Amino acid sequence: MSKPFISILSPQGFRALLRSSSSHSRVVPIDATWYMPNSPHNGKGQYLNEDRIKDAAFFDLDEVALPESKYPHMLPPYEVFKKNIEALKLQKTDKLVFYDKTGIFSSPRAAWTFSLYGHGRVYLLNHYPDYKKHDYPLDTNPKDNLATSAELGDAHHYELISQEQFSDNYQDQVIDYEELLALVQSEKLEKHYVTFDARSTDRFTGKSPEPRPGLSSGHIPGALSLPFNKVLKEDGSYKSKEELIQLFKDDFNIDVTDPTLGGKEAVIVMCGTGVTAVILKLALQSVIGTGFPIRVYDGSWTEWAQRAPSAYIAKSG
């Protein structure tokens, strides 16, 4: 099975893709807007009552997750994912184009989740503010549901990949707490992996608190600070491949054009709850490709700070 890949589309590229849409191979936008818990904004409310791309469905990162977990946004179980996707009236043949109102913030996580569960044609809009700036068509009528309004084709059931295929995807693209802790304890993390943390530098060093009350800030020993906005332009869209290559060279002395990344086993990306980590994953993937493992620590800092021994909660600066 080929490795999942997410294509990044400009607004113009998205409009061109729309022209290929048919009832048997629809192009369906997915609004995946999500905000930090300390924000007054609500992505679902905005979707229902404000502007959205025509025929867009809404993917709720808070809802489509591991039930009753104290770590937000953990990947949903097989059946939870399928149930929610069918409620959105999505089909396996759809070309899904993800976006969020911020620009590039929560949509990469949603797009990656679909690719992990085997959806074949997944795209990321780069980005919604730029789409609006071009005065492309928007739907501003209030809605009372989260499903797409695109006309359904013949298939009405969303067929997931096999559990075995999903397990292969998971092993290749995700790292869990137990495996990461073992790498830290054996001192293999810094030697054989590159770990990037997408949180702000002050949260990484421990200078600023976490947005979730009572959660210690700091970082995993051996991790590198790479705030997600450093891979984005001032307008919030992704930097070009050339800019990304230069960024990793200047800031970390890492040649991301090297297919082995200097002999490392994998890159690990993390953040607060596994959302903005995927911004880094897709930035790296756009340069490195799918041949080198870039694994997401799903529980990210929220899990690590609550489970790891205090000796493995580093602070600096």
Q: Side chain identity at 78, as an amino acid letter?
A: Y
DSSP string, 45-65: HHHHHS-B-TT-EE--TTTSS
Q: Which residues contact 7 (CB under 8 A, 6 or more apart)?
A: 122, 123, 124
| Cβ-count burial 173-182 (b if 16+ within 10 Å, e if not) | bbbebeebbe
266 forms beta bridges with 193
Q: Which residues contact 314 (CB under 8 A, 6 or more apart)?
A: 206, 218, 219, 220, 221
* Lookup: tokens for 254: 């890492």
271 is catalytic: yes
Sign of torsion, CA 142 145 150 151?
Answer: negative
**C-alpha span between 72 and 141 (Å, rounded):** 31
| Catalytic-role residue among 125, 175, 180, 271 | 271
Half-sphere exposure of 274 toward its Cβ, with a 13 Å CA cutoff? 28
29 forms beta bridges with 97
Cβ-contact 28, 93 below 8 angstroms: no
Residue (of 197, 266, 312, 292) closest to 5 by Cα position:
292
By annotation, the residues acting in catalysis are 271
